[in-house]
Amino acid sequence: MRPADLDSIMEIEREAFPNPWPAEAFMHEMRQPHSRCAVIRAGGPGSAPVAYICFWILGGEMAINNIATAPARRRSGYARRLMIHALNQAVGEGCEDAWLEVRPSNHAAIGLYRGLGFRVVSRRPAYYSDTREDALVMHTSLKGRETG
C-alpha cells in the first residue's frame, strides 16, 4: 500500500463499512514501524487496488486491523490471499499468536477466518460505535505454523 492508492482504498472502505476509517488513519498506519499494509492489484503493477489489509506485528503477536475487498471483486479469493500473506509475514517475523475482531453479523468474514484456523475466544459487548453491535474476538496460534 502506498499513499497514491488512497483514493481507491477509500472508495472500497466506504463501500465495505458503515463507519469507514478516514484517509488519515491509513496514512498513519503506513508510517508506523509495527504496521503492515498490503494491497492486491487485479490489473497488475500500477493498477488500482481491489483489496487491502492492515495489520500490526507487535510484541510477538499479530493483530488484523482492517481488511476489505471491492464489492464487485468479492468471492474472488482476494481476502483469503491477503490473510495468508499477513499470517505468513507474522510467522516469518516470529509471531506466536494472531488476533482480530469481527462483527457477529459478518458471516462471510467469520467463515474465512475459521477456514484459516481462527476460533472465537471472547465477545466484546457493544464494541462497534455505529450500531452498538458486539465484536467477536478471534484467535489462532501461529506456533509451528508453516508459511506458504
Residue 147 lies in a domain: no
Residue 76 lies in a domain: yes
Provide the edge-to-edge strand list for the sheet that holds 135-141.
Answer: 35-40, 51-58, 61-69, 97-102, 135-141, 119-124
Residue 61: how many other CB atoms lie within 10 Å: 15
Residue 146 lies in a domain: no
Residue 8 lies in a domain: yes
**Would you say 69 and 79 are in contact if contact means Cβ atoms under 8 Å apart?**
yes
Torsion sign over Cα 102, 105, 111, 112 = negative
Residue 63 lies in a domain: yes
Residue 148 lies in a domain: no
Residue 102 lies in a domain: yes
The count of domains in the chain is 1
Task: Please check the confidence at residue 147 and state whether its pLDDT lies above 80.
Answer: no
Q: Over range 98-126, report the average pLDDT.
A: 96
Task: Please check the confidence at residue 146 and state whether its pLDDT lies above 80.
Answer: no
Q: Which domain holds residue 114?
A: 3-141
The CATH number for 127's domain is 3.40.630.30
Task: Please check the confidence at residue 148 and state whether its pLDDT lies above 70.
Answer: no
Who's near 14: CB < 8 A, 6+ residues apart?
20
Give me 31's grid cell.
Answer: 508510517
User: Per-residue confidence at 145, pLDDT binned at 50, 70, 90?
Assistant: confident
Return d(Cα 31, Cα 29) in angstroms, integer: 5
Q: Over range 84-108, report the average pLDDT.
A: 96
Write the pLDDT tens digit of every residue in 16-68: 988 899 999 999 999 999 999 999 998 888 899 999 999 999 999 999 999 99
